[in-house]
Amino acid sequence: MTMTFRTYNIELIMSEETKLHWLNLLVQSRDAFNFCAQIAVEEKTPCNIKMFHDTMYNKIREKFPLIPAQGAIKIYKEVLSAVRSIKSNKHKNAKIPQRKHLSLHLDKRMYNKLSVDGIFLSTPTARSRELCTFVLYDKVKELFASYTFADPLIFAKNNRLFLSIPFEVPTAPCVDETSIGVDMGMKRLFVTSEGKFFKDKKYLANRRKLRYLKHNLQSKGTKSANRHLRKLSVKERNISKDMIQRSTSALLRSTNASIIVLEDLKRLKQNTSTTNDGYKRKRHNNALSQVPMYAFKEVLMHKAQLVGKRVETVSPVYTSQTDSRTNKRDGKRQGCRYYCSDGIVLDADWNAAVNITKRGNHPYSIQTPLDGCLSIL
């Protein structure tokens, strides 16, 4: 049986003295990462573990005394991983890796006795540890009782400390082998080959409002406007995350098929950013950049594993221009309609979703919408 990780963030309850100790430790960990990365890039340290240890370990321990030995090792290993990624991807003029958030991965030498009752963490007093309890919810209690967990991550947010614990959850096996196709768009987030679609008018209205406010603030350029702009950006990101969670759950609930076929849209913006005459499609590009397609696919892939389903991708070429009944490109798409050569009019997105399903090369589930009307999820 395969396993997947489900991560939960739990707030820590501890004494003020221990809390201040860990906040200072996280600040030093962030500064140590940035310090180590700067040395590695400027001195062009060879990317092997021994050279990094010889160069970084003693410097980190001397400059940042709060960081324990194992913490220093984890920090320079993270820097080594970041530098190796830059080199392997052949980035030109790459910036020095920097960490902004306060976080630190723990291992067995940095904590002990993690359970539903709490976790023992170090205190300012040498060789002593304090039991830090959790703000528990019923779901977290259930996870502790049912599954094993891996090494957690401790992080700070708004002067509060949290523990991010990954639980190893077994994935359910795929029982059914039928598939459905899903066509993603800008107005309707997705349309399935079973004649169902998802469109959140309230989310779209809130996003338009936020984009309008951001546009007005960007033209001012004052400090207060920039501060307000950052808050609006966080708010826009949060409502998008909420919409993605709701839409992916609605999609998984709406079908019994075990395989969900999506288009591979990696190069969509690059391939559609200009017209045939070479002019930029500004309105199209702005609208397309506001659709969280990649995040939708990532969340859907994770959730699908937990319910015994899986996600596959296929080429998007000509899925919107092909007649799903004849597999010929003899029709014409205009807006949300597809006009077939024999006079039949289909919903364009549903027609594309059927073509996507057929490209998956699996037994598929197709339901023709009655009267041409799709049902909303």
Predicted confidence (pLDDT) per residue in 254-269, tens digit = 888 888 888 887 766 6
Model pLDDT for residues 61-119, shown as the tens digit of each residue = 888 888 888 888 888 888 888 888 877 777 666 777 888 888 888 877 778 888 888 88
In contact, 66 and 25? CB cutoff 8 Å: yes
In contact, 29 and 153? CB cutoff 8 Å: no
Q: How far apart are CA 133 and CA 189, in angstroms?
A: 41
In contact, 15 and 151? CB cutoff 8 Å: no
Residues in the chain: 377
Q: How far apart are CA 313 and CA 298, in angstroms?
A: 12
Q: How far apart are CA 137 and CA 114, in angstroms?
A: 16
**CATH class of the domain at 179-201+243-376:** alpha beta
Model pLDDT for residues 42-61, shown as the tens digit of each residue = 777 777 788 888 888 888 88
Is a pLDDT exceeding 70 seen at residue 21?
yes
Where does the chain hold its CATH 3.30.420 domain(s)?
179-201+243-376
Q: How far apart are CA 100 and CA 30, in angstroms?
A: 7
Give the DSSP letter string of 314-369: E--TTTTTS-TTT--S-SEEETTEEE-TTS-EEEHHHHHHHHHHHHT-S-B---PP
Higher pLDDT, 376 or 193: 193
Neighbour count for residue 136 (Cβ, 10 Å): 14
- Quick one: pLDDT at residue 353? 87
* pLDDT interval class at 271 (50, 70, 90): low
Q: How far apart are CA 199 and CA 247, in angstroms?
A: 9
Which distant-in-sequence residues (6+ apart) come within 8 Å of 72 by Cβ?
32, 56, 57, 60, 61, 64
